Amino acid sequence: MNNVNTIKPTIIVVFGATGDLAKRKLFPAFYNLYLDGRMPEKFKILALGRAERSDALYRNHVSENLIAFSRNKIASTEAYQQFASHINYLQNDIDHEESYQIMKQKLDAIDLSFGERANRLFYLSIAPSFIETITNNIKKMDLAANPAQDRIIIEKPFGYNKSSAMLLNELLSQTFKEEQIYRIDHYLGKETVQNILAFRFGNSMFEPLWNRNFIDSVQITVAEEVGVEDRGGFYEDAGALRDMIQNHLMQILTMVAMEAPTSLQADEIRNRKADVLKAIRRITPEEVKHYTVRGQYDKASIKGKPVSGYLQEKGVVANSNTETFVAMKFYLDNWRWQGVPFYVRTGKRMKEKQSSIVIQFKPVPHSTFSFGKEGMMPNRLIINIQPAMDIRLQFMTKKPGLSLSLKPAEMVFDYFSCSTQSPEAYETLVLDALLGDPTLFMRSDQVEEAWDVVTTIQEAWENDKFSSLYKYEAGGWGPEEANKLLARQGHEWASNSLNDVELEEKEVADGKYF
């Protein structure tokens, strides 16, 4: 990675600076980078919002949010005041050209104070419907005319289907070159997701096994305990397929399945990820029901407290068929992965918050130990992304004692044992954008291919054809049909914690695994 000291003076322009994302993620990321000495020596954050506010009032707003949401709390008033001195608030109406003229004057004034033309990073923390207006005005005012210095970060959702994503790419290309556009997926900034590359391509012991000859199946789970909360209106237009599968889970899948890059250059890595998306076998409309399961959480009691179902959430229509759970099976048609099922699932109001990758290896060809009631639990490599951050290798070993009995065991690498202050995903991604490193950001072809993978599924569900919507109790692991999806090939959703492994040990002794 480039040295942060080489970053030229930079102006970060935040559209939507009074919104939830800026409050919870962006300004804590800026602050933590500042404390770690990762911000440019000269920088300004230009915070844009509709309401009229003074710099002092907005800085107080930032201070309150840092206390609530930053991993580094405000321990030193002096350090915070130094950081806050870099923040200016600017009243801005996205729809009015005059606001962009005022912005241009402000940017020019900051350049003058720096003694040189600064880099410009435009962060669009706004609804997708405003992107066209903002980018058109940026072009009209000539605010991002230098491809080497000016960049724009676009938050998800990037479109709502393939055609809209292509239109959005075309729109952005009228103002920005591809190398200026940073399409953000915060999952790619997570420490454990980034470590997949190091784990796979930095070790000789696993990469030879990372193929169809040794791997039986792959599972990717992103589960949330919470429901839609106060985002019912947004979720009605999104659903789990658009909100999670098309972006987060697709990006994790590419990290697991990609071929080895020849270098760590951004385009080389992104080329390999695009290859994976192109290799995913497309599901025909008639196959949607066979390969996918969609569900919607129903009311239940969790820990003795009643919990609303999705249909009772604020902003949700009475007869909504929006899915809050998706499980599906993919195949990759290439040499490395032919015939290996990739199972993915995501849902709200699940039993626990959990993001994990489970690599299940093929069973031994002949089990010397399959006598009596003993069996063999599958060997698994588990990468926990959140809230646990670890890598676990599960294997069989001999029980201590005189008899030749087996038991499952684990070797664990725990990130928290190495560092209790791991950087947040947005810190990593903001720093990369400041450095001009697009490796962890999505390229236009990746976005369009990811949408193409789910297009027929999306259309079938919207037309209510070739699929059913199953109810599941809040606080569970989704509808029973998700288990049946795997059971057809003799698989089941794997455990990813040591407690669950100990429960499986009893099942091994009872002869469940063989």
Is 207 in a helix, a strand, or coil? helix
Q: Which pLDDT does position 186 carry in this prediction?
A: 87
Q: Which pLDDT does position 403 carry in this prediction?
A: 77
User: What is the rounded CA–CA span in Å between residue 313 and residue 308?
Assistant: 7
Q: Which pLDDT does position 513 carry in this prediction?
A: 44
Q: Which pLDDT does position 475 carry in this prediction?
A: 92
Question: Any idea where the domains of the chain sit in the sequence?
Answer: 4-155, 191-488+498-509
Q: 37 near 427, Cβ under 8 Å?
A: no
Least confident span in 117-126, 186-195, 461-470, 504-513: 504-513
Whose structure tokens read 């794997």? 494
User: What is the rounded CA–CA span in Å between residue 340 and residue 331?
Assistant: 6
273 is in an annotated binding site: no
Give the Å distances, CA to CA, from 1 to 6, 84, 122, 262, 490.
11, 27, 22, 16, 44
142 is in an annotated binding site: no
**What would the two tokens of residue 323 be?**
């899915």
pLDDT digits (tens, 9 = 90+) for 470-507: 999 999 999 999 999 999 999 999 865 445 555 555 55
DSSP letter for 350, please. B
23 is in an annotated binding site: yes
Least confident span in 165-169, 320-324, 431-435, 464-468: 464-468
50 is in an annotated binding site: yes
pLDDT for residue 96 is more than 90: yes
User: What is the rounded CA–CA span in Å between residue 222 and residue 354?
Assistant: 6
Q: Which pLDDT does position 417 carry in this prediction?
A: 78
Least confident span in 196-200, 392-396, 397-401: 397-401
Is 236 in a helix, a strand, or coil? helix
19 is in an annotated binding site: yes
Mean pLDDT, rounded, for 223-228: 92
Mean pLDDT, rounded, for 1-21: 82
Looking at every residue in the chain, the average pLDDT score rounds to 89
Mean pLDDT, rounded, for 214-238: 91
Q: Which pLDDT does position 2 carry in this prediction?
A: 44
Nearest by Cα to 163 from 444, 443, 446, 448: 448
Nearest by Cα to 186 from 417, 386, 391: 386
Range 191-488+498-509 has CATH code 3.40.50.720: no
Mode of pairing for the β-strands spanning 305-307 and 300-302: antiparallel
pLDDT category of residue 383 using cuts at 50, 70 and 90: very high
Q: Which pLDDT does position 357 carry in this prediction?
A: 96
Distance of CA 126 to the CA centre of its chain: 18
User: What is the rounded CA–CA span in Å between residue 329 and residue 485?
Assistant: 8
DSSP letter for 241, please. I
465 is in an annotated binding site: no
| The dihedral sign for the CA sequence 364, 329, 205, 335 | positive
User: What is the rounded CA–CA span in Å between residue 96 and residue 136?
Assistant: 12
120 is in an annotated binding site: no
Distance of CA 503 to the CA centre of its chain: 30
22 is in an annotated binding site: yes
For domain 4-155, which architecture applies?
3-Layer(aba) Sandwich (3.40)
Could you give the residue numbers annotated as active site? 248
pTM: predicted TM-score of the whole model, two decimal places? 0.90
